[in-house]
Amino acid sequence: MTKTKKLINAPEDIIPQLVSGMVAAHPDMLMREGKTGRAIVAVDGPRDGKVGIVVGGGSGHEPAFAGYVGRGLADAAAVGNIFASPSPEQILDAARAVDGGAGVVFLYGNYTGDVMNFTMAAEELEAEGTQVRQIQVADDVASAPRELRSERRGIAGDFFVFKIAGAAADLGEPLARVASLAQKANDATLSMGVALGPCSLPQTGKPNFEISDEDMEIGMGLHGEPGVRREKLASADTVTDELLDSILSEMAPVKGDRVAVLVNGLGSTSLIELYIIFNRLKSVLDERGIGIHHSWVGEYATSLEMAGASITLLKLDDELTRLLDHPCRTPALTVGTTEGAVAGSAHSLRRAAKASDSAVKTKAAAKLKSDGAITPAIFRAMMQRAGDEIIAERDWLSELDGVIGDGDHGITMEIGWKAVQGALANAEQDETIEGSCKRMAKAFLDAVGASSGPLYATAFLRAGAAVSDRLNLDAEALSAWLAAALQGVRDRGRAEPGDKTMIDAWVPAVERAERAAASGSEVDVMNAARDGAEEGMNATANLESRRGRSAKLGARSKGHIDPGAASTWITLRAMAATLAEASTAA
């Protein structure tokens, strides 16, 4: 496969350099806040008594999301890794920087990782006394039928929902009203896209899906998720008609209605093509007697260098029209003038983030059960080996994900496990297994975000808590550790066996481990878990996905191993190998 070319430095420096570059390019509009370095805040947006608007999501969609930070629109954006949700800590940095005492609204696309991470951040903010509302943008008509609209993913419709919410907050509306208007915009916004060619992740340099020169993917998602169907490439007018038909059949506008229009390029589509699409779009709307109040044509929500475009319509009433026309000034969008705005308020609002105690507490070893072959040192060695093997299998995991997802699972796992390895390297020799689990959870969550961050963090925390009374692990305690990790993933991700997720590897792993624990050794338990995970992983190839991004594929997801199940198997395989070696050495 041909490697793609990108003007980058080191792949691991992409996001910090992106943030630094944006802030440096727009110092009159943007500044960076918080310890994570991932919160971009409006210089003159936040102020006392105003509802704070926080948007966010994965990088690679520029100018979304940070490009919409500025007076009259978003007050801050939390910046995630490529195609991955920001972590709760990154979101909290953004939220605390814009909290003016009137509450905060989170706006983001309806993806599992974003929902998990923003929800965890909201829970922490609410525990601190800040009111939070959340709106998940769900405008993509291709990703779910009308009766399952809440399951749709968010694509370029973010543009209109952000604009309406930002205007309402800038006008001083209270929290409940801002959230209500944002939801109203969300309900009135519909989109559909087409992809002609793939993008490539900077870390791999490989296309994240394959499509022939003669084909197009109707309904493609922003992360390279396959669309609803693959068809032969057609003319611009034919494609425009097909996208519009899906939107208009659901929106059902009548003669005299007004809409706002966004024709959006996905990264490498020329303006020539986008204007040709708009030309046909206007003809169709004119024939139906539907007025265009305002239109935008260009790149507003991209997918790295993907070839393709999307069409978004916002059905307007007088209220939404006033908010759409309200002035704003951001790097990616300026409407009207904000010269009368109160400037510099964010500087006076810089609230010191409430210090979180990140120190890992260690219980007195004398009070803990010490029978069992797995000492804290051996446990940490098992986790270090898991990281090594995940990193070694990064490309395979990404290839699995590229078929049914967005192609970044291996990269995400590498980032998370490298963070875990670094955190464990700083652990004290007498740190308990529970303490190391807390350390691992924080490291993974802070580094990754995405859906994997909350899932793995919850798994580590629950597993550690399940053995909090132990210094060493025996066979039963190891089985309990594994079972608690599984329950953490199930509780956080709401997935069940048969959904084609990591749960399908974890469940047989735990079932076999529990049987082995009744009469076997710690090595027996770990080997049983490894074998159960492998069996479950292989079985996912016969399943139709019901959770996550791949659920949109329906029957097209069959025939492919789930990447989350694969990374589960790799992890348990590595843990088993380390434990077996330690047992032999003893």
Domain CATH number, residue 419: 1.25.40.340
Residue among 189, 150, 185, 151 at smallest CA distance from 73 = 185
Could you give phi then psi for residue 8, rounded to 5 degrees? -130, 170
Q: Is residue 272 part of a domain?
A: yes
Are 269 and 402 within one domain? no
165-222, pLDDT tens digit by residue? 999 999 999 999 999 999 999 999 999 999 999 888 888 888 878 888 899 999 887 8
> Catalytic residue at 326?
no
Q: Sign of the CA dihedral 275, 70, 85, 81?
A: positive
User: What domain count does the chain have?
Assistant: 2
Burial class (CB in 10 A: 0-12, 13-18, 19+), 528: buried
Rounded-to-integer distance, Cα 6 and Cα 192, Å: 28
Residues 534, 561 contacting (CB under 8 angstroms):
no
The pLDDT of residue 558 is 81
Are 538 and 446 within one domain? yes
Residues 526, 495 contacting (CB under 8 angstroms):
no
Active-site position among 26, 61, 223, 560? 223
Residue among 554, 345, 302, 575 at smallest CA distance from 463 = 575
Are 138 and 260 within one domain? yes
Rounded-to-integer distance, Cα 497 and Cα 505, Å: 9
Are 83 and 165 within one domain? yes
The pLDDT of residue 296 is 98
- Domain of 217? 11-335
Are 128 and 209 within one domain? yes
Are 421 and 311 within one domain? no
Longest Cα–Cα distance in the chain: 82
Q: Is residue 53 part of a domain?
A: yes
Regions of the chain where pLDDT drops below 70: 1, 226, 338-366, 404, 406, 449-450, 547-554, 556-557, 586
Are 401 and 539 within one domain? yes
Q: Is residue 345 part of a domain?
A: no
Are 308 and 233 within one domain? yes
Task: Look up the pTM and report it.
Answer: 0.75
Are 372 and 455 within one domain? yes
**Residue that terminates a domain, selected from 335, 355, 384:** 335
Tokens of 331: 């790097």
The pLDDT of residue 548 is 61
Are 263 and 400 within one domain? no
Are 268 and 380 within one domain? no
Q: Is residue 359 part of a domain?
A: no
Q: Is residue 169 part of a domain?
A: yes
Are 111 and 234 within one domain? yes
The pLDDT of residue 356 is 36
Residue among 322, 433, 416 at smallest CA distance from 377 = 433
How large a percentage of the chain has pLDDT more than 70?
A: 91
Q: Is residue 139 part of a domain?
A: yes
Domain CATH code at residue 101: 3.40.50.10440
Q: Is residue 148 part of a domain?
A: yes
Residue among 223, 234, 306, 308 at smallest CA distance from 264 = 308
The pLDDT of residue 319 is 97
Q: Is residue 354 part of a domain?
A: no
Tokens of 212: 């022939």
